[in-house]
């Protein structure tokens, strides 16, 4: 099975990369093989534009993959999720593509009908993973943004506009590209913080990374067999 493992930064998947180097044959730069498993690691850089470009370039290079796995950390939009929880994203939305109104409200490109909400690959303005396995990990809905939220008034408007569980800076780009290219994909995220008045002292990135990589390594080890 050929896997493309996609992350924004090297630190988010550093333990998985170490496992690959220790347990697999390295057949190229960030390219590993173990038994029935072949894994390529793609580090895109942070944000929607960088992720869209890097993933599109990889998928158009001629390389073939059975599955794209996007893995990283994320912020939780409500307290039902705990710091360190690992979840599977089943739907995504671009949450800041549109216009800011005079009163501070946000109107999306779908609301403006600049992009019809049911134009492929969107469904009601959402990007939905048709191959999501709800028994694999807790399933969540996500939004993706170019600017993470840390100002209470903006966060309140966000809650009023979107019914979502987590926020990241790359997920919707992976959904969009994979749906367009008709390739199977998963997005796995671990909660590092809550989306609230910004306070990095309340975040736990090491815990989130540890929990995320434990899931990813177990998945790869299982697929290798």
User: Going by C-beta distance under 8 Å and a sequence separation of 6 or more, which residues neighbour residue 73?
Assistant: 12, 168, 189, 190, 191, 192, 205, 208, 209, 212
In this structure, are residues 117 and 108 in contact, taking their beta carbons and an 8 Å threshold?
Answer: no
- Dump pLDDT digits (tens) for 58-71: 999 988 999 999 99
pTM attached to this predicted model: 0.93
Alpha-carbon span 200 to 28, nearest angstrom: 37
Superfamily of domain 2-224: Nucleoside phosphorylase domain (3.40.50.1580)
**Tens digit of each residue's pLDDT (9 = 90 or more) over 34-48:** 888 999 999 999 999
Angle, helix 14-23 to helix 205-224, in steps of 10 degrees? 30
Between these two residues, 123 and 100, which has the higher pLDDT value?
A: 123
């Amino acid at each position: 099975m050929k896997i493309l493992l996609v992350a924004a930064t090297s630190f988010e998947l550093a333990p998985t990369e170490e496992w690959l180097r220790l347990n697999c044959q390295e057949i190229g730069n960030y390219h590993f093989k173990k038994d029935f498993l072949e894994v390529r690691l793609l580090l895109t850089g942070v944000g929607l534009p960088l992720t869209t470009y890097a993933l599109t370039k990889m998928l158009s290079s001629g390389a073939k993959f059975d599955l794209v796995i996007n893995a990283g950390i994320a912020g939780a939009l409500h307290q039902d999720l705990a710091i360190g929880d690992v979840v599977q994203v089943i739907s995504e939305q671009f949450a800041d593509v549109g216009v800011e109104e005079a009163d501070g409200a946000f109107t999306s490109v779908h609301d403006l009908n600049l992009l019809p909400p049911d134009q492929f690959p969107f469904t009601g303005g959402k990007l939905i993973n048709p191959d999501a396995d709800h028994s694999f990990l807790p399933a969540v809905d996500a939004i993706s943004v170019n600017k993470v939220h840390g100002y209470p008034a903006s966060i309140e408007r966000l809650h009023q506009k979107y019914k979502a569980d987590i926020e990241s800076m790359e997920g919707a780009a992976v959904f969009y590209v994979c749906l367009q290219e008709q390739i199977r994909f998963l997005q796995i995220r671990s909660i590092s913080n809550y989306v609230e008045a910004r306070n990095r002292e309340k975040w736990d990135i090491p815990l989130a990374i540890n929990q995320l990589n434990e899931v990813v390594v177990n998945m790869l080890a299982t697929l290798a067999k």
